[in-house]
Structure 1
Amino acid sequence: MSTKTARIGAAELLDIVLDQGSFESWDTTPQQPPLSESYAADLEAARIKSGADESVLTGKGMIHGRPVAVIVSEFKFLAGSIGQAAVNRINAAITRATSEGLPLLAGPASGGTRMQEGTLAFLGMVAITDAVRRHKEAGLPYLVYLRHPTTGGVMASWGSLGHITVAEPGALLGFLGPRVYEALYGQKFPDGVQVSENLFRKGLIDAVVTPQELPELVERALRILQPSAVPASLPAPIGTTATSAGRDVWESVQISRNPRRPDTRMILASADDMLPLNGTGQGEKDPGLILALARFGEQRCVVLGQQRPRHPGTFSMGPASLREARRGMQLAQELGLALVTIIDTTGAELSAEAEEGGLAGEIARSLSDLIGLRSPSVSVLLGQGTGGAALALLPADRTIAAQNSWLSPLPPEGASAVIHRSVEQAPAMARAQRIGVDSLYGFGLIDHVVDEHEDAALQPREFAQRFCAAIAAEVSLARVIPEDHRLLRRQQKFQNLGTLGD
């Protein structure tokens, strides 16, 4: 027996999400277009049924003491449909939020644009989309909570543009409403597709949360997305002397492959704040990459971290990973956050699916995006750094390396197979190709080496804490690079690699 998702009204949602007594309405009497007698009757009935004067409520309030602008649909008012008066109300609220420098939380629940108003209401989605675009271009957060149900033009405009998008459990979410689909095509739409949990599995939304959980999630996001009221002093860099303590690079390669070695998840778990995101937002999710918002000290960042596969011999990055990474790069630019990329990979996926998915092109586009990124950036060599999968996340203003990390076009065994037709010369190839931190420092690539005290796997928590401190220090140094010099400095860094010798 299926259970129907309960619909929460706009006023009830605001009572749950906003601090008690903090809501201030921005709404004025809606100016409706010319009405037919039947449409006027529909509007009057909707007002009586819903207790609202239109299908959206707008205003501002506080969430855990943080000011936030809100736009919330009232589904009981003509199924939350958007007519010209609602378009004007939404646009006015977005514009005001932008002018007041407020983050914006949207909570749509709608069947789409209002059929009684036809094409003009439909065209209103363009104006709303433009208002959201301008809000985001101002560097202000736009957060979306998709409620049951959200379909049609609303889902295809302001419902799908969030920097962070989460959804109500069990909510019906999709472009074409199932009733319309059945009327048009004479058959039922497949079950389980247009449901929030499925959208999460497919990487279309970042989380599924109840209304009661939403305030904590919004507050966590804004702790990272918004600067502190009082800027902290810049931390001093630590551990910048490159040294392998006389260790042979082949020993470092073997240490980096220890499955107990700290990974991206442990680094993020040691951050001062962290909020995981999910997928590309375009229907893909690759477990080889972790996308998150994080704060290291007072440094607010988007983090793209390669996650080592649990089973040896498997590759850790496919084309969907890089499309997810490029979502993170765009977030960093739109929100004025620093970008941190964490490299720890056995190599890119080698498969027909990866080739057909455009892996090579995604590596190229990732490189291009990173070189041209307007945000401050720090790349991190955490462990293994093999091939194009590593190169795709490498370009940055500053680069940190763990003491036993390395970077090479192929794993040493692969390089040995190419040159010697055998993997037995892997140790010699690792030395000859100069893949270790001492050489990378000498090339001019690495700025900061984090000491492992022999092996990070022996003290994983302490190492992760040292690494987080290093990230905070290097992000602070990347931030002080003048914006008009940032891209030229990156260009010169990679053009001049190796000219200093090692």
Structure 2
Amino acid sequence: MTATPRPRRTTARELIAEVLDGGTFVSWDRTPETGHLPPSYRDELAAAAAKSGTDESIITGEGRVNGRRVAVAVSEFGFLGGSIGMAAADRLVRLFDRAATEGLAVLASPASGGTRMQEGTPAFVSMVGISAAVRRHRLAGLPYLVYLRDPTTGGVMASWGSQGHVTVAQPGALLGFLGPRVYETIYGRPFPAGVQVAENLQAKGLIDAVVPLSELAGVVDRALRILAPADSQRHDGGAPAATPPTPPAPAGPEDVWRSIEATRATRRPSVRHLLKYGASDILPLSGTAQGERDPSMFLALARLGGRACVVVGQDRRPERSEPLGPAFLREARRGMRLAEQLSIPLVTVIDTEGAALSREAEEGGLAGEIARSITELIGLRTATVSVLLGQGTGGGALALLPADRTIAAANAWLSPLPPEGASAIVYRDTEHAAQLAAEQHVDSASLFAAGIVDTVVPEPGPADERPREFSRDMADAVAAALAEVSALPLASLLAGREHKYARIGLPL
């Protein structure tokens, strides 16, 4: 990797001026107590304050982004390298706790070399207290947004810098655990170029995006707009009222095979079309936040029918359509956790040729990831809707299926194997694929009759010829289901899921 030019360092005041509505910032900070500190250290703090124009390495307070109130915590690198001592740690803890009490999202922007060496181990251990405060804020179901600036390393990157629901970074920013100066001093050689840089972290699935400061307000506004309570934006499209599902007509063998061929059309609308034409707001996310990123995964925060949700699905664009691997499901499980933490519904969109059949998938623990995904969905402590948009093959489809309500496009299908694979097992050829597809009841009408699918959305014409109409019809059905399940108590949802899947295949 080649070295990436380091960006100009942004001060805390510059970030606040750029991101918050003009004149809305109100400080929450108290003047730090320094009387108990050694005189030499007090002098060092005074010099740092004079140099940076701030009284500590962290500025906290509140402001508005496009009129929405948000709590903010911004590092000032000019104050002793943005290092976190006990006073700065106290500010952060108070910030997260006050934001939780007042029901505010937090926007944090670290730029720090880590904990303050002058305060030793107590400052180092204060990262635990900050992380606990972040956890309390998350348990309140409130959004935590992080903008990583150059540089962010050490204990800050290993605590509150890596705990955001949405994490973006300054272009070219140095980001990592080990400071490059420490590495070079210990090992006598420079740290490999291009590793600890924002763009590489995005490519590896550790952060969601690289965003210049000039665009940060737009990202924050979109996230807050999506995650605002449903009642505050009830009229931004409105969810259609749920209507009792009409049983679809039984499908004959030829109809089943035509459906399968229809879902394999190259231009059939995907999860991206569903949100492009059916959602009022979308904020794409990326990666597991733990070092993996599957290019066929689509993960986003979105607003459907006026309701915030997390959307997880396969991006079936030809250049990206690949069998599901372990990284895909680990990224999907990040989406599940986000929905649970933010107390918003989860929508899973199934459109897959199946799970990967490879050495890498086996060694990556694919079977275990499918099992964990199913288990998490069954017990997920928030409302869920799954959508059979097209192909639904094998364990890759099953891993995203369990939900409070399942919606299927009329031509969508669900099968243990591709029909050709089933034919190869039973008849040792692929010529019986259509026959077996009908016999295995893979079509949407059969899935509805079996209680696997709750609603079937008609397809009056080829979806690839009417992507806008198809996507809006599907989105309306999803919005209606979201409105229905979001109104139910969590205990009823959990019990209903258990009962639903316990009864599949049993006589009514």
Same fold (TM over 0.5): yes
Q: CA deviation at 1:287?
A: 1.4
Equivalent position of 1:113 in the other structure: 115
- Residues 229-255 of structure 1: CA distance to partner in whole angstroms, max 9, x if unpaired? 264675213583242585620111111
Q: Distance in 2 between matches of 1:219 and 1:479?
A: 24
Residue 298, structure 1, aligned to residue 281, structure 2 = no
Is 1:343–1:390's contact at 8 Å kept on the other side of the alignment? yes
- Residues 439-466 of structure 1: CA distance to partner in whole angstroms, max 9, x if unpaired? 1000011111111113211211111111
Residue 195, structure 1, aligned to residue 197, structure 2 = yes
Q: Residue 419 of structure 1 aligns to which amino acid in structure 2?
A: V
- Alignment coverage as a number of residue pairs: 500
Q: CA deviation at 1:311?
A: 5.8
Q: Distance in 2 between matches of 1:2 and 1:431?
A: 56
Structure 1 residues 490 and 88: CA distance shift in structure 2, 3 A:
same
Equivalent position of 2:423 in the other structure: 416
Among 142, 155, 172, the residue aligned to 1:170: 172
Tell me the SS of whatever aligns to 1:213. helix
Equivalent position of 2:260 in the other structure: 253
Equivalent position of 1:397 in the other structure: 404
Tell me the SS of whatever aligns to 2:194. coil
Among 266, 271, 289, the residue aligned to 2:297: 289
Among 133, 140, 143, the residue aligned to 1:141: 143
Is 2:316–2:352's contact at 8 Å kept on the other side of the alignment? yes
Equivalent position of 2:284 in the other structure: 276
Is 1:80–1:112's contact at 8 Å kept on the other side of the alignment? yes
Is 2:350–2:400's contact at 8 Å kept on the other side of the alignment? yes
Q: Residue 85 of structure 1 aligns to which amino acid in structure 2?
A: A
Q: Distance in 2 between matches of 1:162 and 1:207?
A: 13
Q: Distance in 2 between matches of 1:405 and 1:323?
A: 25
Tell me the SS of whatever aligns to 2:168. strand
Q: CA deviation at 1:64?
A: 0.3
Q: Distance in 2 between matches of 1:411 and 1:244?
A: 23
Q: Distance in 1 between matches of 2:270 and 2:80?
A: 51
Equivalent position of 2:91 in the other structure: 89
Tell me the SS of whatever aligns to 1:375. coil
Q: Distance in 1 between matches of 2:130 and 2:314?
A: 36
Is 1:105–1:144's contact at 8 Å kept on the other side of the alignment? yes
Residue 237, structure 1, aligned to residue 239, structure 2 = no
Tell me the SS of whatever aligns to 1:219. helix
Q: Residue 23 of structure 2 aligns to which amino acid in structure 1?
A: G
Residue 263, structure 1, aligned to residue 270, structure 2 = yes
Q: Which runs of 5+ in 2 are unaligned?
A: none
Structure 1 residues 239 and 483: CA distance shift in structure 2, 3 A:
closer
Q: CA deviation at 1:365?
A: 0.2
Equivalent position of 2:448 in the other structure: 441
Provide TM-score, normalisation by structure 1: 0.97
Q: Distance in 2 between matches of 1:311 and 1:49?
A: 52
Equivalent position of 1:78 in the other structure: 80
Once structures 1 and 2 are overlaid, which stretch shifts more, 363-372 or 179-188? 179-188
Is 1:238–1:470's contact at 8 Å kept on the other side of the alignment? no
Is 1:415–1:426's contact at 8 Å kept on the other side of the alignment? yes
Q: Residue 502 of structure 2 aligns to which amino acid in structure 1?
A: Q
- Residues 281-325 of structure 1: CA distance to partner in whole angstroms, max 9, x if unpaired? 00100012110001112121100011225169x743110000000
Equivalent position of 1:22 in the other structure: 24
Equivalent position of 2:227 in the other structure: 225
Among 342, 345, 348, the residue aligned to 1:338: 345
Residue 122, structure 1, aligned to residue 124, structure 2 = yes
Q: Residue 309 of structure 2 aligns to which amino acid in structure 1?
A: C
Identity %, equivalent residues: 58
Structure 1 residues 290 and 85: CA distance shift in structure 2, 3 A:
same
Tell me the SS of whatever aligns to 1:272. strand
Q: CA deviation at 1:95?
A: 1.1
Tell me the SS of whatever aligns to 1:229. helix
Once structures 1 and 2 are overlaid, which stretch shifts more, 236-245 or 111-120? 236-245
Q: Residue 301 of structure 1 aligns to which amino acid in structure 2?
A: C
Q: Which runs of 5+ in 1 are unaligned?
A: none
- Residues 197-230 of structure 1: CA distance to partner in whole angstroms, max 9, x if unpaired? 1101011001111111111101100111121426
Q: CA deviation at 1:97?
A: 0.9
Among 301, 320, 327, the residue aligned to 2:334: 327
Q: Distance in 1 between matches of 2:413 and 2:442?
A: 5
- Residues 85-125 of structure 1: CA distance to partner in whole angstroms, max 9, x if unpaired? 11111111111111111100001000000000100000100
Is 2:385–2:406's contact at 8 Å kept on the other side of the alignment? yes
Equivalent position of 2:14 in the other structure: 12
Is 1:239–1:450's contact at 8 Å kept on the other side of the alignment? no
Spell out structure 1 runs of 4+ moving beyond 6 A.
none
Structure 1 residues 180 and 266: CA distance shift in structure 2, 3 A:
same
Is 2:115–2:124's contact at 8 Å kept on the other side of the alignment? yes
Q: Distance in 2 between matches of 1:402 and 1:128?
A: 46
Equivalent position of 1:45 in the other structure: 47
Q: Distance in 1 between matches of 2:476 and 2:372?
A: 30
Alignment root-mean-square deviation, CA: 1.6
Among 448, 455, 463, the residue aligned to 2:470: 463
Q: Distance in 2 between matches of 1:260 and 1:413?
A: 22
Q: CA deviation at 1:129?
A: 0.3
